[in-house]
Chains A and B, each alone.
Chain A
């Protein structure tokens, strides 16, 4: 077990959806301002800014790299470093790990991590083509018509083949996420969804149907990571960072040799050991989704289904409101919306929100420990982070 060195003390988020009139900068500074104020800080209390990668606009991303947010938020000559962190969908876990390490080494006391992007306002085909380059080999995969929905489909097929998971169980993941999203004012999709709705939607890439494929969205979220020693003086219930484990398993999905598991078992073992917290002591799972197969694979790897098959566990309602293991209570990318790299940031911020006791209607009762997962590109890596209301 590792001594706790950092905690999240403030969060901010703007609504996710199609907001063509809202600029990425507007969303970035709005979410950042909310996080700074939530932590009870002023901008000059922040000593480092770690903006994460944005995909839709190269110009905006260059602004993130070149300290635009420090200037906009009044941190010129007070911020020690502005440095972009980018690991695709895994950036949530990765930026938290980097922030935790910087604080552990005494390099920083309070770090602003922020994401903003507008992939939802891209024309539909531009969105498909953009994500057909994020971890898809231009030479060895793109010539065969590969694309991001096919990534989810290829993994779903192999996972179903090895575990016996059914199409209805995949659909049940979407339904569970939607039930949570209906309680989330920042979510893009908030109308009721049934297994029949999912199974009746059109086939996109077998076995995946339209409602099992995420919708690209605009959004932004931010959080403040602080030295654990001072976290309690800023925040009534900080979200302590307890453990992290990760493993890179491939770049191109065609080189993955264990597509029904990836690196989640190894990452989970490492994270649980570092945290000194096991699966039986987890009350909330904030799981990177994007397609329904990944939460199932993650639940298996994290050993969170009490020996049951993840598909059966989810289909029985265990991850829905009122279930024994609330999962991804913001609705995930499948219902809150997929903001590019920010889809994972939103899933992580939701775990902070729950631990900080700020989740409103969807607040999980008697919560102490939560697990967060993420993966980037074509699920190139498996990240597991353990968060808690208690420091070690």
Chain B
């Protein structure tokens, strides 16, 4: 029996630039050209003013952990071999939030409030690149 495949993003017309940027190792945030609202996750219309004039701007790629958990058991299908893994909600410095994984040194002892820096994880065997985060190095 083959291992279950982990769920992958199926981009929409309006989110495709986000995932394309990730493939180029860039983190971008959707922005409304009419009212300047920064939008996460990408939407069809601006949730602030309902404009359809939306674009993308580069994110700094830094932020802090708003909350997190280390999944130790009982993962959804496709994640069995990745245990233990860290799921986190990141509050980016642009003041929008996204879900991601914390990877790399210290990930399993990361805490709320820790500073993080984006990295990019190509999912093996696919053309998907996920934005993930590492603990930021001390200044």
- Residues of A whose CB lies within 8 Å of any CB of B are 125, 128-129, 132, 137-147, 149-150, 153-158, 161, 202-208, 210, 213, 252-257, 259
A253 in contact with B6 (CB, 8 Å): no
Q: Using Cβ atoms and an 8 Å threshold, which residues of chain B touch A252?
A: 41, 99
Identify 30 residue pairs between A and B in the complex whose beta-carbon atoms are under 8 Å apart, listed by A's number: A128-B76, A128-B77, A129-B76, A137-B99, A138-B9, A138-B10, A139-B11, A139-B41, A143-B9, A143-B130, A144-B87, A145-B6, A145-B79, A147-B71, A154-B69, A155-B67, A158-B112, A202-B73, A205-B69, A205-B74, A206-B69, A206-B70, A206-B72, A213-B74, A252-B99, A255-B41, A255-B97, A259-B66, A259-B67, A259-B89
Q: Using Cβ atoms and an 8 Å threshold, which residues of chain B touch A254?
A: 89, 97-99
Bound Cα distance from A210 to B100, whole angstroms = 24
A-B CB contacts (within 8 Å), total count? 116
Interface size class of chain B, counting residues whose CB lies under 8 Å from the partner chain:
35 or more
- Beta-carbon nearest neighbor of B87 in chain A: A150
B66 in contact with A141 (CB, 8 Å): no
Nearest Cβ distance between residue B77 and chain A, in whole angstroms?
Answer: 5
Q: Using Cβ atoms and an 8 Å threshold, which residues of chain B touch A157?
A: 67-69, 112
B68 in contact with A161 (CB, 8 Å): no
B75 in contact with A154 (CB, 8 Å): no
Q: Using Cβ atoms and an 8 Å threshold, which residues of chain A touch B70?
A: 205-206
Nearest Cβ distance between residue A281 and chain B, in whole angstroms?
Answer: 35
Q: Using Cβ atoms and an 8 Å threshold, which residues of chain B touch A210?
A: 73
A150 in contact with B71 (CB, 8 Å): yes
- Residue of B6, B70, B71, B123 with most chain A CB atoms under a 10 A cut-off: B71
B76 in contact with A154 (CB, 8 Å): no
- Residues of B whose CB lies within 8 Å of any CB of A are 6-12, 15, 40-41, 66-77, 79, 82, 85, 87, 89, 97-101, 112-113, 123, 128, 130
- Beta-carbon nearest neighbor of B9 in chain A: A139
Nearest Cβ distance between residue B24 and chain A, in whole angstroms?
Answer: 18
Q: Using Cβ atoms and an 8 Å threshold, which residues of chain A touch B77?
A: 125, 128-129
Bound Cα distance from A259 to B128, whole angstroms = 30
B97 in contact with A204 (CB, 8 Å): no
